[in-house]
Amino acid sequence: MATITGHSELDSRPSGDVGSTSRFGDRLFSGLATGSGVLVVAVIAAVAVFLIAQAIPALTKDDANFLTDRVWDVDATPLRFGIPDLLWVTVISSVIAMIIAVPIALGVALFLTEYAPSRLARPFAHLVDLLAAVPSIVYGLWGAAILQPYVKPLQEAAGYALGWFPMFDNTAGVGGTVFLASIVLAIMILPIVTAISREVFAQTPRAHKEGALALGSTRWEMIRTAVLPYGTPGVVSAAMLGLGRALGETIAVSMILSTVSTFTWSIFSGGETFASKIANNAQEFDSPAKAGAFIAAGLVLFVLTFVVNAIARVVIERRKAFTE
Amino acid sequence: MTTADPTVTRPTGSAAPGLDLLSPGRVLRDRIATLLVCAAFGLAMIPLAWILWSVVSNGWHLLVESQWWTHSQRSITQDRPGGGAYHAIFGTLVQAIICSLIAVPLAVFTAIYLVEYGRGRLARVVSFMVDILTGIPSIVAALFIYAVWVTTFHAQRVGFAVSLSLVLLMIPVVVRSTEEMLKLVPNELREASYALGVPKWKTIARIVVPTALGGIVTGIMLGLARVMGETAPLLILGPYAAGINTNLFSGFMAALPTMIRENFGTGDAAATERMWAAALTLIIVVLLLNLAGRFVARFSGVKK
């Protein structure tokens, strides 16, 4: 019999299914899970390590200044290559894409969360998501073969009105301009920005919205005072993620952009981004010796997207800390 | 959505005029906002319809010929019509399947770690790195595999290397969707299982994962759809070949994106036709996977 101390004979004499208390399965399973998690971290570290290790030999042989010289000559000895042109085209095309996409994505997200009839909101959201499912090479194809003639008049008008400013100089006369690439990039990042904005808007506390409406706001005033302030960090983060996607987009940009021999600041001229430079020279990858310079460019792209994505992540984390 | 319906008309012109009557400016601003928001959605739908229409109208007639699905492009020059896309469809499917065989277990276990085991600093680092992996450009993933596979191990550029680089792109998609699903599994299920003396690993393997299986399958399908459309890794690691190659470890292997690229900008009518047909084939495969994924999600989601 158990005494008043609560100690029971049964406690020291297990009966029935004793099972294995060491639980080999538990250790195996948690080991596998933790191992997979660690592997993901290790892979990112390996990406950085391998890219740096492969870029350094090429960079030491580089006779030009990697950060400031406007040359790209990897067949010559010594090698001469620099990235400022690539950096400009990469950043300006992505930023313009972001400027076009974010307002539209905001509108679409508001439409899906606040305006669309609730029965249609879900199918409509799937339609927007379908834009993300279209492969990027199809975007490239469509942009280069179909959209280009439609953008040209737009470009000519802008060049006519604002051509005095070097960024809008429309005298290059190439078909695949940075502007065209930006429009296609904007369409490509639209679903990503929309999806994240939609998610944060949908999380707006109902009390805020109903409070605003009860005070007599119109629907738009309710959005402006309750939904938008609540969602701002999420939208900023969504825009950054879209920017990151645009910076790294490869095949669509490489199919659209015409390469030009002389660099201009104009967005109505061609050029190359980091990613399209690497893609356009894919045949150079038959020998590792020539690949080094491109890997160095890829490393810069990796750092750029890493920073942008990290910022996006930090912004959204801040918001979580606020609301919970 | 069940929020209060803001469209309910407010009483206008009541006892105290000017108090609850909306001023014309406010009404106007509200109307303009409604108009702009609806226009934004319409604007977003234009490219979707336009792209699908361009690809379908330019590509459909090759797809209805049976040899498109059964023949390769071997010994067919660019300016000559004929041949099919069997070699490229085969390459795309095989590379994606091999990729998912590696990526899915890794990703599912990573998600299990994040939801069931991960606490503290390591879990935060893993979660952060999954986000970084989500944003990694496909060309960087390809360069990384190139640096490992070709430069370091002096191996050839083959189909398997493409699959490896696709693994990097598939993992984050599957991790995130699996994680979301595992989080939806009610804690009561886990606790009930523990209370019956079931070990943790068995609880996860027999209770948690099966409950979330629909969502996990959806994530896998969306991941597959994403990697099948990727072109950048193919450019670097998997050059195009016109014939059928069933060996992942030797020789170049065709895939649909490289087939499109190969026929792009040549100016030949036959090549242009092939290019659109390959694009339509790719879109069909990707959209089917997407729709199937959403279908699975719809009918097997975790019931709340």
Identify how many contiguous H helices and E strands chain A contains and give both numbers.
13, 2
Chain B contact set for A279 (CB, 8 A): 139, 232, 235
- Indicate the pLDDT class of residue A9, thresholds 50, 70 and 90: low
Contact between A47 and B229 using a beta-carbon 8 Å cutoff:
no
Choose from A30, A47, A193 for mutation: most chain B CBs within 10 A: A47
ipTM value for the complex: 0.87
CA A90 to chain B, closest CA, distance in angstroms equals: 13
**Chain B 36-95, residues with CB within 8 Å of chain A CB atoms:** 36-41, 43-45, 47-48, 50-51, 54-55
Cβ-based burial of A64 (10 A; exposed 0-12, middle 13-18, buried ≥19): middle
Tens of pLDDT, residues A108-133: 999 999 999 989 998 999 899 889 88
Please state, in angstroms and as integers, the Cα–Cα distance from residue B256 to each residue in A202, B54, B282, following that order.
Answer: 38, 18, 6
Choose from A138, A285, A286 for mutation: most chain B CBs within 10 A: A138
* Predicted confidence (pLDDT) at residue B8 exceeds the cutoff of 70: no
Contact between B201 and A30 using a beta-carbon 8 Å cutoff:
yes
Instruction: Name which of B137, B244, B129, B200 is nearest A45 in CA terms.
Output: B129
Mean pLDDT of A227-231: 91
Tens of pLDDT, residues B89-102: 999 999 999 999 99
Q: What pLDDT, on the 0 to 100 scale, is given for residue B113?
A: 95
Tens of pLDDT, residues B157-202: 899 999 999 999 999 999 999 999 999 899 999 999 999 989 999 9
* Predicted confidence (pLDDT) at residue B105 exceeds the cutoff of 60: yes
* Predicted confidence (pLDDT) at residue A1 exceeds the cutoff of 80: no
- Indicate the pLDDT class of residue A260, thresholds 50, 70 and 90: confident
Q: In chain B, whose CA is at the least distance from the CA of A284?
A: B236
- Indicate the pLDDT class of residue A242, thresholds 50, 70 and 90: very high
Tens of pLDDT, residues B107-136: 999 999 999 998 889 999 999 999 889 889
Please state, in angstroms and as integers, the Cα–Cα distance from residue B269 to each residue in B69, B73, B158, B203, following that order.
Answer: 20, 16, 30, 60
Contact between B51 and A139 using a beta-carbon 8 Å cutoff:
yes
* Predicted confidence (pLDDT) at residue B299 exceeds the cutoff of 50: yes
Q: What pLDDT, on the 0 to 100 scale, is given for residue A172?
A: 74
| B143 at interface of A, judged by CB pairs closer than 8 A | yes
Q: Report DSSP state, residue A257.
A: P
CB-based contacts of A224, cutoff 8 Å, min separation 6: none
Contact between B231 and A309 using a beta-carbon 8 Å cutoff:
no
Identify how many contiguous H helices and E strands chain B contains and give both numbers.
13, 0
* Predicted confidence (pLDDT) at residue A62 exceeds the cutoff of 90: no
| Higher pLDDT, residue B266 or B143 | B143
Query: How much of chain A, in percent, has pLDDT values that exceed 70?
Result: 91
Give the number of other CB atoms < 10 A from CB of residue B24: 8
* Predicted confidence (pLDDT) at residue A18 exceeds the cutoff of 60: no
